[in-house]
Structure 1
Amino acid sequence: MQTVSGPVNVGLSYDGRITDSNRFDLALLGHEIHLEIPSVDAVLIGDVDASEVYGLSQLDGVVMVERYGFVVFYGDVQTPAVKARNSTEYPVGAWDLGVSGHGVNIALTDTGVDNEHPGLSGKFVAGYDAVCYVHTDPSCLLSNPLREDDGSFDPDDGNQHGTACMGMASSTGLEADGSQSEYYGSAPNASLVDVRIGTDVGAGPFENYLLEQEFYESAMNGLQWIIDHRDDAWPGVDEANHGIDIISLSWGITSHENGGSDGTDMHSRILDDAMLAGVAVSNAAGNDGPDNDGLSGMSASSLSVTVAATDDLNTVNRSDDSIASYSSRGPRKDNGDGNPLNELIPEVSAPGTNIVQAEGCVTSGGCNNFLGGDASGNTYTGRGSGTSYATPSVTGVIALVIEANGNLTPLQVKEVLKQTAERRGEPSAPEVDPYWNRDFGWGMVDARAAVALALHLAQTDQTDSVDVSLQNHLLSVADSNGTINVTGHAWGQLGSIERVEFRIDGGDWREATYSAEPGEIGALTPFMWHVILDSVKLSEG
């Protein structure tokens, strides 16, 4: 309806029964409900000005704004917006480079996943119910006291949160009738390790106030299980899908007192351990913006990829995207280690506002919190917002990067995402890093650019040359009358610069001549470098 102007007749579809709150929202905007249609959870409000349609689409619970005789869905733009899938706006996406997440396992650590959903069918390779191994939850013991811890148990989702997140990471977009929808995840061929840390009564992150102790314990239990089983050969699974490659966390541990966490809490540290153990971590920044006082535990992890959320305004075009009002801002509270770089959180940002979800069994009413059910007939309904929903999109991008270059370490994957992100906002800490912004991190994640860089490193055998303690940004390449001028911006994060070297097309490293004496360029001291090349000699080899 973006091209419509003037008066237009519309109806609104909701993600559940129409409530008094929904009616009040419409009345507050001056709209009268002409007809309620309970069988499809919709209302018809008739004549509105087309300029009001976007505002109506943002109302709580609205999943569709429908012109009489014409339907517009909102939420199927996340994957093309991160440039994983191609689009008319961005004709070449990461998938066009030959990757889709194949052979990459995502440990979705959440409320469980209803992987019978048509868009998630066939993805399960292993699972673990962390809740049933930490306390005395009676529903666990009554429903099934023998939940294996060897990866063979398949948890269900009694909340919807986990199913939604896995859909955003790796849904194939398939419907129950075999037809293809537009609701793909970033890495549609990635596989699932389902680690359930939500309570057995379905409480999701930040909802478990009655069983707070159990949730905290189950969270740590689940993460430790992932680290302990990261290299396991799952029974009945092809070798390509052994182990665990990525942890996706769309929740956090509240710790905002006195400026929030400084990354030394146990929840943040276990994520650091996972990164160092070879498991990449994609982690939500939190939904406490814009005036949050620091960051929560886990989002304050020094090493993981912490993700902020943008509002894509329901368009694939990134030019109109802004930081979501709720997205927690950086930096992190100083941990006093003398390294200001690890306070620069978040790392990257991605669309997280009004994202359509893969529908879990509990959402459709096909099961309840105590009895699992079958989500194989479910579709993609309801919308959600939060860094919870930005994070799995980045998780999928990480899966694409890992498929492109399996030799990258988690810290190198993080550098690839930072280097290729689309810069947004003014620098918030230019004395430390001239590209980091407290809202967007190093920018909006760019799946195509990240995969292209990962492939280039693999194809030129340069993966080992990625030094996460150095920053080097190519600024310009200009060809003038056969002379090629290459300009860049670089600095060291730790220690002083000893020399500047370059090489061409994988050839020998050559030391550049520069004016500063060795040792004069200290840590966090940016400098410009220039390389002048003769194109004639280059063509001659």
Structure 2
Amino acid sequence: MTWGIQMKRLVAVVLCAVIFLPLTGSIHNDSINYRAQWTLADDSGMVWLDAGYTMDIPHQSSPLWLDQQQPWYERSAYDKNNNHIHDSIERSKVPVGMGISYLNEVDQTNLNDLANLGIEVVDVLESINSVLIGIHEASVAETIAGLKDVVMVHHYGTVVFYGDIQTPNVKARNSSIYPDAAWNFGVTGKGVNIAMVDTGVDNEHPGLVGKFVAGYDAVCYLHTDPTCVAAGLGARQTDGSYDPDDGNQHGTACIGMSSATGIDADGSQSEFYGSAPDSSLVDVRIGTDAGAGPFENYILEQEFYESAMNGIQWIIDNKDTAWAGVDESLHGIDIISLSWGITSHEGGGSDGSDMHSMILDAAMEEGVVVSVAAGNDGPSNDGLSGMGSSDLSITVGATDDGNTITRDDDTIASYSSRGPRRDNADGNPLNELKPEITAPGTNIIQAEGCVTSGGCNNFLGGDASSNTYTSRGSGTSYATPSVSGILALMIEANPDLSPFEMKEILKFTAERKGEATQPDVDPYWNRDFGWGLVDAYEAVKLSIELRNQNLTGQIDVHNQVHIESVTIDNQSGLTVYNGIAWNQVGSVNSVEYRINGGNWMSVAFEETNGSLGALERFSWSIALDTDKLPSGNNTLEFRGMSDDGQSLPVIVMVAGAGESSGHTESWFERFHLDFIFIALFTIVGLLLWFGRTNNPETLTLDSNESIDKVLKDDVDIASVVDAELLEGT
């Protein structure tokens, strides 16, 4: 064999190696050629991190408003001249209804000070250190403001009521369009008490029979109510034993939307369910025997304001009461449903420092969750009312579902009041993000009360036992009780949820609608829809998840972790999860993930320049090789940790191809095929190199012979591997 031939063979082997060796990388998806921008995060090959990201979480600054020391009464929008009197009182030329807020709990000294001025206290509101004193000349306000411990003299507002498809639309009851619904979890509101604070309820209605647990007539409790006094009724029971009737229809309609069973007058089952058909009723009436409000010519409007305050205080006082004659599971009060508001005497609506907003805040802090209507003032409203402006309550706007179950075509109702709430000057922009949530409130079928229609009238001794579901109504009044019913489903699913956890779950699971109105404050809130259209199925599902993971009571509702996108990286074949995180009042200490309940691991973070300001978000990312996940559905979970707990968990299901059963592969297991290929290639090369020891045959061609003849005659042609063709002479 000549040296030249050996060199040719060597070159051929090397060229083959150059051509085929890269193909060994195609055997495994984790080829560095395809995943150069990714870093393997674990030994299983399932999780990858963006090589351009860091494992160091960005530094976050605390909001300046946390250092706000100025009390509410020194920055109230109702008192611009800061003299502790509502400005509208000072402008009034006629007597006005007044309330007084004190620095501390109201004591006998405070009551004596008022008595010395000839002022009789109508009601003491212990929850907010306040009293109601009825109508007085406006000029007396200055004297009252000078009394010991008085921090604000309030002007009564005016109470205004706002007012089939709804229940499946919110995904409480299942439908052909939304087969996954909250009732599928086996929850219907059983054992949960909703306090309907309204015009009274005719619970003799076939769809409401058996729901009454306790009741209270807040109007006739107040001895000054002219209607009750004229009727010779006086004060009624405060122990919950009194059962108020509906004098208007509004209250019966509202409780039907949260709690009706759908049973009709003939005993048949209709489709008009409330969102929590097994929830129970605490009937708190703030109307009168003569009607329901100012539009019913209520004789003294200010007493309606007083009755509303008194009714809510009664609820707080009885939140744990063991009602007579009912099972222990029905003791107390779980939910307040309010489908009305308080008008403001100041332009721009309430900033949350009115007495009604404050007492709703107190109810939330006492453990009673509040669902309240945003109002019916439409897109050009100058602010929300003195109920929907409560800092802590769940304020509900209304959508128009187009009389269809599908949610894709739902729009904001033309009448629904828009946010934000009036600024309360505390430096925290989050307080003004109202409403929180929306629900269908347009053209809703109502449970019929025993009023002046249909030949049924409570005043003439009738009742609603023969009534049905009739007419349609619209308003945030009717959106609110649907949300109250969903809260009842959540409480049945997880009785230990706090009001603030429930509020955050509703916001977190809502179906996003519309673009962010104030993206620098929150990336999801919209002035029309709030955080979106309520989703009963997802809300109950997450409530159950918190219960099952023993996370109830451990949620930091200010800690925010959200997935922004899920994409397939075409080059690497990885499924990429990109998200954002932030803490509304502090810092996120970590953002972590786990697969199928395994160990928690850190995601990777996009690098930032310097410290992030208050409410600034940072980006995080991980990527999955789904071929490495076990076959079938896999649970991928994310959370953010802070000093005060963890965020609500973000849980997604990921389909795995099953190449890996989830065990950790050894170094040899991941690369053995590559070694086998290289070994085979080496053997073939050696065979080519040493497979022939003889020198190549010399093929001589005479110029007079054809090459075909020579080849035909050559008996040794079978042994020819290499040949040199030499020109004959």
The TM-score normalised by the length of structure 1 is 0.82
Bigger shift: 336-345 or 510-519?
Answer: 510-519
Distance in 2 (alpha carbons) for counterparts of 1:157 and 1:143: 19
Deviation at 1:407, TM superposition (A): 1.5
Deviation at 1:522, TM superposition (A): 3.5
Deviation at 1:256, TM superposition (A): 6.2
Distance in 2 (alpha carbons) for counterparts of 1:300 and 1:205: 21
Aligned-residue CA RMSD in angstroms? 2.2
Q: 1:301 to 1:372 in 2, by over 3 A?
A: farther
Q: Paired residue for 1:531, among 622, 632, 643? A: 622
Q: Paired residue for 1:540, among 649, 655, 663? A: 663
Distance in 2 (alpha carbons) for counterparts of 1:261 and 1:234: 35
Distance in 2 (alpha carbons) for counterparts of 1:243 and 1:105: 7
Q: Check conservation: 2:294, 2:301, Cα contact below 8 A.
A: no
Distance in 2 (alpha carbons) for counterparts of 1:298 and 1:279: 15
Q: Paired residue for 2:174, among 86, 100, 114? A: 86
Gaps of 5+ in 2: 1-163, 630-659, 665-729
Deviation at 1:199, TM superposition (A): 2.3
Superposition pairs of residues 31-110 of structure 1, within 5 angstroms: 76-110=164-198
1:494-534: CA deviation from partner (whole Å, max 9, x where unpaired): 12334334444555544445355898233201122113456
Distance in 1 (alpha carbons) for counterparts of 2:453 and 2:174: 31
Amino acid at match of 1:539: G
Superposition pairs of residues 110-149 of structure 1, within 5 angstroms: 110-141=198-229, 142=231, 144-145=233-234, 147-149=236-238
Q: 1:100 to 1:178 in 2, by over 3 A?
A: same
1:110-163: CA deviation from partner (whole Å, max 9, x where unpaired): 000000000000000111110012242243242533621011111110110000
1:215-260: CA deviation from partner (whole Å, max 9, x where unpaired): 0000000000000100111111111111111000000001163211
Match of 1:203 in 2: 292
Distance in 1 (alpha carbons) for counterparts of 2:452 and 2:166: 22
Amino acid at match of 1:324: A
Paired residue secondary structure (2:553):
helix
Calculate percent identity across the aligned residue pairs: 68
Amino acid at match of 2:327: D
Match of 1:442 in 2: 531
Q: Check conservation: 2:606, 2:619, Cα contact below 8 A.
A: no
Bigger shift: 118-127 or 482-491?
Answer: 482-491
Match of 1:259 in 2: 348
Q: Check conservation: 2:202, 2:246, Cα contact below 8 A.
A: yes
1:406-462: CA deviation from partner (whole Å, max 9, x where unpaired): 121111101111111111111101010010100011111111111111111112222
Distance in 1 (alpha carbons) for counterparts of 2:294 and 2:256: 18
Q: Check conservation: 1:208, 1:215, Cα contact below 8 A.
A: no
Q: Paired residue for 1:470, among 559, 563, 567? A: 559
Distance in 2 (alpha carbons) for counterparts of 1:210 and 1:486: 62
Paired residue secondary structure (1:195):
strand
If you compute each CA radius of gyration, which structure gives the higher value, 1 or 2? 2
Match of 2:373 in 1: 284
Q: 1:464 to 1:499 in 2, by over 3 A?
A: same
Q: Check conservation: 2:222, 2:235, Cα contact below 8 A.
A: no
Q: 1:507 to 1:273 in 2, by over 3 A?
A: farther
Q: Check conservation: 1:131, 1:199, Cα contact below 8 A.
A: yes
Amino acid at match of 1:490: A
Question: Residue 173 in 1 paired to residue 296 in 2?
Answer: no
Deviation at 1:187, TM superposition (A): 0.4
Distance in 2 (alpha carbons) for counterparts of 1:463 and 1:266: 31
Question: Residue 520 in 1 paired to residue 643 in 2?
Answer: no
Q: 1:310 to 1:206 in 2, by over 3 A?
A: farther
Q: Check conservation: 1:193, 1:244, Cα contact below 8 A.
A: yes
Distance in 1 (alpha carbons) for counterparts of 2:601 and 2:294: 52
Distance in 1 (alpha carbons) for counterparts of 2:458 and 2:223: 18
Question: Residue 360 in 1 paired to residue 449 in 2?
Answer: yes
Distance in 1 (alpha carbons) for counterparts of 2:377 and 2:534: 21
Amino acid at match of 1:399: A
Q: 1:466 to 1:167 in 2, by over 3 A?
A: same
Distance in 1 (alpha carbons) for counterparts of 2:294 and 2:595: 49
Superposition pairs of residues 293-332 of structure 1, within 5 angstroms: 293-332=382-421
Match of 1:21 in 2: none
Q: 1:205 to 1:234 in 2, by over 3 A?
A: farther
Q: Check conservation: 1:84, 1:397, Cα contact below 8 A.
A: yes
Match of 2:63 in 1: none
Q: Paired residue for 1:182, among 234, 249, 271? A: 271
Distance in 1 (alpha carbons) for counterparts of 2:294 and 2:216: 17
1:259-317: CA deviation from partner (whole Å, max 9, x where unpaired): 11001111011111111111110100000012100111011011111111111111111
Q: 1:484 to 1:461 in 2, by over 3 A?
A: farther
The TM-score normalised by the length of structure 2 is 0.61
Distance in 2 (alpha carbons) for counterparts of 1:255 and 1:197: 19
Match of 2:647 in 1: none
Distance in 2 (alpha carbons) for counterparts of 1:519 and 1:538: 42
Q: Check conservation: 2:245, 2:458, Cα contact below 8 A.
A: no
Distance in 1 (alpha carbons) for counterparts of 2:610 and 2:458: 63
How many aligned positions are there? 466
Match of 1:496 in 2: 587
